[in-house]
Chains A and B, each alone.
Chain A
Amino acid sequence: MEPVLEVEGVTKTFAGVRALDDVSFSLRPGEVHALVGENGAGKSTLIKVLTGVHKPDSGTIHARGVISTIYQEVNLIPLMSVASNVYLGREPRKRFGLVDWARMNSDAAALLKDYGIDTDVRRPLGTLSVGAQQMVALARAVSVDADVVIMDEPTSSLEPREVETLFEVIGRLHERGIAIVYVSHRMDELYRICERVTVLRDGRRVHTGPLADLPRLELVSMMLGRSVGDIRSHGATAFEGDHEAGREPVLRAEKLTSGNRLGGVSVEIKPGEIVGLAGLLGSGRTETARAIVGDLPLSGGTVLVGGKQVPQGNVAAAMRAGVSMLAEDRKTEGIIPHLSVRENIVLAALPKLSRFGLVSRARQDRIVDTFVKRLRIKVSSPDQKVAELSGGNQQKVLLARWLCTEPKVLLLDEPTRGIDVGAKAEVQALIDELAKEGLAVLLISSEMEELLDGADRLIVLKDGAVVGELAGEQLTQDHVLAAIASGGADD
């Protein structure tokens, strides 16, 4: 059978870094093909090359038809109606080129029923749940007579029921001979619906083959580049795991409630303890951290640090009380790109470094020096613009910023996301060190291994509520998934 998509020797370089290095693979009609790899392995670059966003530096792409994509973030227009979104750019028309609303709406309604969406198609897309929006995106992608549909982490914001619908749809697409490239890190899903798998690592294709007979451990080891035995015995992180916690909790967050995002979440952390927050995307982990640091308006609940209540909704007050947070997205929420490393580090500690409003250069230099050394931040000089640093070093700069504030409680939201392996290990080791020194740490991570290795205790969240607390022997992936699966409002 002739392949519907043929990729040969594609290479793409960005600023000296090989995002894709001589990647080849082919797709048969109707095939459901898994594309896996760690962050930075090249998956998103490959997708962008396939959809024409980037031109490959070398290599060829032969596509025998239309390629459609649905992304992890729903890339539709929230303010426009559901039907409008489905047919945007291809609206059915009447005489004089006028849009035929009636037909568009009825066509859209009929189309969406197949995807489990039974709602008024005239309502704005943004009022639907994220899962429903994702379905609309999928319906649109398929309806353009696509021969290949690329799905980038499609289930990351879906309810289990919606996931089932998605799989039904994928089954139907498969029967119609439409090929699917399924990008995900969720093993269960991959093994359930995908026939073959291509593994990318550091921009290179390291494996392509049938999925059914491939043991999971082997798949993971190929993704990570570690041998199977290694993973089994040492784990994949630099956490050492044993901390001595104090007796009284230094942080007591009680019954945090905010709209329908947080429903009475309570978290306690003792000094020297690393508490992890586990849960699916959208379960309220980031919201919990934000609430504790005062960045989320609360309709109920209190935060106590060292026994004293912290005024709500005010980041500065939380920081004065000793709480600091490393935000999830360092690019949009962390670094001030055009300022120097020095300025970025001292940003939160300005009140301490200035007298009568004038900033003391000497004190700045001293602090910056200390942290650059301690965190091993690779810079040509503290005056270097922080935007020029690698992801790992930027993350260290941000950690230095928060450590400057001498916090009692440190909230870390995805501290090792998108940074290279070496820096990752350094950051993890540093977190360990800080806990040993008596810092109370809240750790949010979407990498299960990191969470299980690093945390002393795990709080499992689902839909904005706590559905389980795990410690000691219970710190395994199965326990976490079980807690997520069984916990919940409608069970």
Chain B
Amino acid sequence: MTDTAKTVDRTRVARWLQEYGVYVAVVALVLFNIAFTANFLTVGNFRTQLIQAAPVLVVALGMALVIGTEGVDLSVGAVMALSAALVPLYLGAGTLPAVAVALAAGLAAGTLNGVLVAKVGIQPIVATLALLVGGRGLALVLADGQLIQLHDPDFLALGNGEVLGIPVSVLIAAVLAVLVAALVGKTAFGRRLVAIGGNRRASVLAGLPVNRVLIGVYAICGLLAALAGVLSTARLGAGDPADAGLLMELSAITAVVVGGTPLTGGRVRILGTVMGVLLMQLVRATLIKHNLPDSTAQMIQAAIIVGAVYVARERSSR
């Protein structure tokens, strides 16, 4: 009797942690910073944090969808690099064409991933691995390995401009978050996505267009990654394919997992993902503000990933 009682309590705690842990952590960290960090509660600081977090959120939104289908996309960083390489090449024709080309490339990459996973049946890790390996190299080849300074004011506005006092990139990220949440919660596509991640076999037997949904999910992820690449390139003011999106897949996966979306698929928590991005951003910022070195930041990030996944793991085996 005591054995079962203990396990039930532990499961309940674990489940609560998975659901609300990220909110608690964010609040705790904010409070900590208000108390111990100088200049934390300033508009300038909030602005900086949000601007830095915006591209990560955009990528994480796409990643959350993919993880919801029990998949993963390791190529998002490479797609960002492709954006960083393509934008300078087409900026001469105007901001819109340049952005369009970058987005198209991201869409194409994502679709390729999706086809490999859905039609050919390759595991997501391997399928997106190929693009991860080759994508950045391709970007560097396109850019001749150079970092290219950009001067087009319209384009740079994407990174530094404001609308009603809110930075453009933050606005875009926020709008996308709402859109993706609606996609998951209210559309047939979203409900199918969640069902497919929850039980692929049952979804097939229910006549769901599994392949179409999977390809769509990876395509959206690629598109969003490309958009994030555009935003970060705009903010940097330069196309830097060597550095753009480096280790972004890690940040995105961390944010999604910490935010409570299980790696085993079947559930997508957009609000949790937003919180996850904010949390990781706060962690990094807190460490920097308190002069803790990069090394410590990385090790702490690693510990957080392990902690979040440990808490979130399903007891039933698959």
Interface residues of chain A, those whose CB is within 8 Å of chain B, are: 13, 15, 57, 293, 295, 315-316, 318-320, 325, 327, 332-339, 343, 347-348, 350-351, 354, 357-359, 401, 405
Q: Which 5 A-B pairs have the closest CB atoms?
A: A336-B198, A316-B207, A348-B206, A319-B207, A354-B188
From A336, A337, A357, contact of B187 by CB (8 A): A357
Interface 9-mer from B74-82, B189-197, B301-309: B189-197
Q: Known contacts A347-B195, A350-B191, A357-B188; decide if A339 and B266 are in contact (CB<8 Å).
A: yes
A351–B206 touching, CB < 8 Å: no
CA distance A488 to B207 in the complex (A): 35
Q: On chain B, which size bracket covers the interface?
A: 20 to 34
Does residue B235 face the partner (Cβ distance < 8 Å to A)?
A: no
Distance in angstroms between the alpha carbons of A335 and B205 in the assembled complex: 11
Complex CA gap A334/B1 in Å reads: 32
Q: A354-B187, A354-B188 are in contact. Are A337 and B198 (CB under 8 A)?
A: yes
Query: Would B206 and A359 count as touching, CB distance under 8 A?
Result: no
Kindly state the separation between the CA atoms of A319 and B208 in the bound complex, as whole angstroms: 10
Interface: B149 (CB within 8 A): no
A330 CA / B90 CA spacing, docked (Å) = 54
Are A336 and B205 interface neighbours, CB within 8 A?
no
Residues from 165 to 223 in B contacting A, C-beta threshold 8 Å: 186-189, 191-192, 194-195, 198-199, 201-209
A339-B194, A343-B191, A347-B195 given; A325·B207 CB < 8 A: no
Inter-chain contact B189/A15, CB cutoff 8 Å: no
List of A residues within 8 angstroms of B4 by Cβ: 13, 15
In angstroms, how far is the closest chain B Cβ from the Cβ of A320? 8
Contact A332 B199 (CB under 8 A): yes
Check if B186 sits within 8 Å of A339, measured CB to CB. Answer: no
Q: Which of A295, A334, A359, A405 contacts B191 (CB 8 A)?
A: A359
| Residues of B contacting A338 in the complex (Cβ-Cβ under 8 angstroms) | 198, 266-267
Question: A336 to B203, Cβ gap below 8 A?
Answer: yes
Given A339-B195, A348-B207: A359 touches B201 (CB 8 Å cut-off): no
When C-beta atoms are compared, the residue in chain B nearest to A348 turns out to be B206
Known: A332-B202, A337-B198. 11 other contacts (CB 8 A): A13-B4, A315-B205, A315-B206, A316-B208, A319-B206, A334-B205, A335-B199, A336-B199, A339-B194, A347-B208, A348-B206
Residues of chain A within 8 A (CB-CB) of B267 are 338
Chain B residues whose CB sits within 8 angstroms of the CB of A320 once the complex forms:
207
Which residue of the partner chain, among A319, A335, A405, contacts B202 with CB atoms under 8 Å?
A335
| Bound Cα distance A351, B192 (Å) | 11
Alpha-carbon distance A315/B191, docked complex (angstroms): 19
Picked from A325, A327, A350, A405, the residue with its CB within 8 Å of the CB of B188 is: A350
Q: What separation, in Å, do the CA atoms of A304 and B191 have in the docked complex?
A: 31
- 21 inter-chain pairs at a CB distance below 8 angstroms, sorted by A residue, are A13-B4, A15-B4, A318-B207, A327-B202, A327-B205, A333-B201, A333-B202, A336-B203, A337-B266, A338-B198, A339-B194, A339-B195, A339-B198, A347-B191, A347-B195, A347-B203, A350-B191, A358-B186, A358-B188, A359-B191, A405-B207
B193 → A minimal CB distance (Å):
12
Residues from chain B with a CB closer than 8 A to the CB of A339 are 194-195, 198, 266
**Interchain CB contact (< 8 A) of B195 among A318, A343, A358, A359:** A343
The answer on a CB contact under 8 Å between B199 and A337 is yes
Name the B residues within 8 Å of A333 (CB-CB): 199, 201-202, 205
Interface residues, chain B, CB within 8 Å of chain A?
1, 4, 186-189, 191-192, 194-195, 198-199, 201-209, 266-267
A359 to B189 Cα, complex, angstroms:
9
For B195, the chain A residues whose CB sits under 8 A away are 336, 339, 343, 347
Q: Are A336 and B202 in contact (CB under 8 A)?
A: yes
A347 to B198, CA, bound (A): 12
Instruction: Tell me which residues across on chain A come within 8 A of B208, comparing CB atoms.
Output: 316, 347-348, 350
> Smallest CB-CB separation from A398: which chain B residue?
B202
Shortest CB distance B139–A (Å): 34
The distance in angstroms between the C-alpha atoms of A339 and B194, with both chains bound, is 8
A332 contacts across to B, CB distance below 8 A: 199, 201-202
Shortest beta-carbon distance from B237 to chain A in Å:
39
Determine the distance from Cα of A343 to Cα of B187 in the docked complex, in whole angstroms: 12
CB-CB nearest in chain B for A329: B201
Taking CB atoms, residues of chain A closer than 8 Å to B191 are: 343, 347, 350, 359
B189's nearest neighbour on chain A, judged by CB, is A357
Give bound CA distance, A358 to B186, whole Å.
6
Q: Given A15-B4, A339-B198, A350-B192 in contact, is the A295-B204 Cβ separation under 8 Å? A: yes
Instruction: For the complex, give the distance between the alpha carbons of A460 and B189 in Å.
Output: 42
Asked if A325 contacts B205 (CB within 8 A), the reply is yes
Chain A residue numbers with a CB within 8 Å of B186 are 358-359
Of all chain B residues, the one with the shortest Cβ separation from A315 is: B207
Contacts of A351 in B (CB 8 A): 188
Q: How far is the CB of A442 from chain B (nearest CB, A)?
A: 15
Which B residues lie within 8 Å of A315 (CB)? 204-207
- Chain A hits for B189, CB < 8 A: 357
CB distance from A16 to the nearest CB of B (A): 8
Chain B contacts of A405 at CB under 8 A?
Answer: 207
B194 to chain A, nearest CB (A): 7
Complex: A425 Cα to B152 Cα, angstroms: 74
Q: How far is the CB of A454 from chain B (nearest CB, A)?
A: 22
Chain A residue with the shortest CB-CB distance to B186: A358
Residues of A within 8 A of B1 (CB): 57
The docked-state distance in angstroms from the alpha carbon of A351 to that of B206 is: 12
**Chain B residues near A359 (CB, 8 Å)?**
186-188, 191
Asked if A316 contacts B209 (CB within 8 A), the reply is yes
Given A335-B199, A337-B198: A295 and B209 interface contact (C-beta under 8 Å): no
Q: A336-B198, A339-B194 are in contact. Are A358 and B187 (CB under 8 A)?
A: yes
Q: How far is the CA of A316 from the CA of B207 in the complex (A)?
A: 4
Taking CB as reference atom, which chain B residue is nearest A293?
B205
Q: Tell me the complex Cα distance, A318–B206, Å.
A: 10
Complex contacts, A13 vs chain B, CB 8 Å: 4
A405 to B187, CA, bound (A): 19
Interface centre among B4, B188, B203, B266 (most CB of A within 10 A): B188
A359 closest partner in B (C-beta): B188
Bound CA–CA A325/B206 (angstroms) = 8
A339 to B189, CA, bound (A): 15
B206 CB contacts on chain A under 8 angstroms: 315, 319, 347-348, 401
Shortest CB distance A353–B (Å): 8
Complex interface: chain A residues within 8 A of B202 (CB)? 327, 332-336, 347
- Nearest B residue to A336 via CB reads B198
Residues on B with beta carbons closer than 8 Å to the beta carbon of A325: 205
Across-interface contacts of A358 in B (CB, < 8 A): 186-188
Smallest distance from the beta carbon of A124 to chain B beta carbons, Å?
A: 22
In this complex, what residue of B is CB-closest to A317? B207
Smallest distance from the beta carbon of B256 to chain A beta carbons, Å?
16
In angstroms, Cα B208 to Cα A18, docked, is 39
Give the chain B neighbours of A293 by CB distance below 8 A.
205
A290: nearest chain-B partner, CB-CB? B205
B residues less than 8 Å from A334 (CB atoms): 199, 202, 205
Bound together, the chains give a CA A359 to CA B206 distance in angstroms of 17
Q: Could you say which residues of chain B place their CB within 8 Å of the CB of A350?
A: 188, 191-192, 208
| Best-surrounded residue of A295, A319, A336, A343 (most CB of chain B within 10 A) | A336
A336 and B266 contact, CB distance less than 8 A: yes
CB distance from A364 to the nearest CB of B (A): 10
Residues of B within 8 A of A401 (CB): 206
